[in-house]
A and B are shown apart, each in its own frame.
With several copies, the nearest count.
Chain A
Amino acid sequence: MLDKDGIAKRIAREIKDGFYVNLGIGIPTLVANYIPAGINVELQSENGLLGMGPFPFEGEEDADLINAGKQTITTLPGSSIFDSALSFGMIRSQKIDLTILGAMEVSENGDIANWKIPGKMVKGMGGAMDLVASAKNIIVAMQHVNKAGESKLLPKCTLPLTGVNCIKKIVTELAVLDVLPGGGFKLIERAPGVSVDYIRQATTGKLFADDDVPEMIFD
């Protein structure tokens, strides 16, 4: 069973040389720490930056330079700054190759719910609806089950949707799964030591698994 860094590390292997990537808040942010050497990527922050660098050294924080999570960050050689409209313009026109974000629920047809829980204070969808509606390639990073022990991979989302038919791949502490074009989750890899049966029990949506699903490889 993977910890959050393990999920991030596994997702990092999906990033190809030359990719522009948007990382959501939470586990997706950790992915930046595991991008393999020799793979050149540029991170987009939807508040208006391409080429996001690491956190600044202490004392070098710049209030004018933050990411979409409002964290102080840095630029890198090749960075560019732009306004919010152009930022979402490049997202809508699919110039961002990969979006990685968290989710509360994903359905077997690729719907995602990650912004609103009825009865709780709603903070807003931020840029998530734009990202999931536009990206060519979206990977969800999340726990396989919620705190109540219920599967987050469902036949149909129960929470208000963020986007429909958009998620292509899910990486959890248990598994890597593809969302099949015709519907259903296809088990691609198991976390080390996790059985197909265990994953099946944790997955309420339709699960397709071959007899010999390989364990994840990390490098």
Chain B
Amino acid sequence: MINKVVSGADEAISDIENGNTLMLGGFGLCGIPENCITALVKKGVKDLTCISNNAGVDDFGIGLMLQKRQVKKMISSYVGENAEFERQLLSGELEVELIPQGTLATRCMASGYGMPAIFTPAGVGTEVAEGKEVRNFNGKDYLMEYAFDADFAIVKAWKGDTAGNLIFRSTSRNFNPVMAMAGKITIAEVEELVEAGELDPDHIHTPGVFVHRIFQGANYEKRIEQRTVRTKN
């Protein structure tokens, strides 16, 4: 068993440098690497390119890094409600590349699967297609999109073991497994870190081979963005 355990978020992100490209897991505020984001804010690393489906909210998630002007460029599918994000975007301080959500997920997957490019119909005939190769298969047009090339992938799982194996819980899985496969260095923070052998090999979503560093995070807030409920009759 190859041990991947590091002491915590600070050690895990210690070699992330100004100008690096990071993938950050999560959908909205669900399944985001809260501990690593806190550590990145503390470290103050700058000029980052962040590949993440969303950009957090003003005071949580990637929004915390935006507040500190640490992000040079966001690559996302939807940037939601975030006043500071909007201000930086309109003032030209922040560069934003918006790409279809499935394209985002599949470009991550392509990287983890060692496929340099993939074909998707998403965006054909729209401004997303500008400058891209269009190719027809069986009468349908597809865009060729390239695998992402990220220095680090930072993901959050529910459980993990010392060998780096990860299990996600419910829809907090989202982009985390595909990003976990795609980083040159992959950092995983987990709610519960167990010994190798305690996870059922059949239940593992991300095999440890993809994970370079793992630690048990602390103080998860797991904020809810849209609390919707029904009342019992």
Residues on A facing B (Cβ under 8 Å): 18, 20, 40-42, 44-51, 54-73, 75-96, 111, 121-130, 133-134, 160-165
Contact = CB atoms under 8 A, between A and B. Distances in A.
B226 interface: yes
Interface in B86-108: 86, 89-90, 98, 100-106, 108
Contact of B171 (A60, A65, A77): A65
Contact of A88 (B106, B126, B224): B106
* Interface residues on chain B, size class: 35 or more
Contact of B208 (A56, A58, A78, A134): A78
Given A81-B201, A84-B174, A161 B28 contact: no
B77 A127 contact: yes
Interface in B127-149: 127-128
A113 to B, nearest CB: 9
Most buried by B among A69, A71, A89, A163: A89
Contacts of A49: 171, 201
B230 A54 contact: yes
Contacts of B53: 84
Nearest to A52: B171
Nearest to B198: A77
Contacts of B128: 125, 129
B123 A66 contact: no
Interface in B154-170: 158, 161-163, 165, 168-170
B223 to A, nearest CB: 7
B90 to A, nearest CB: 7
A93 B222 contact: no
Contacts of B225: 66, 70
Given A83-B105, A130-B100, A133-B122, A66 B165 contact: no
Nearest to A66: B30
A214 to B, nearest CB: 31
A42 B2 contact: yes
A70 B208 contact: no
B33 to A, nearest CB: 14
Given A64-B31, A80-B165, A85-B108, A133 B177 contact: no
B229 A55 contact: yes
Interface in B202-233: 202, 204-205, 207-210, 222-232
B1 A42 contact: yes
B79 interface: yes
Contacts of B229: 55-61, 72
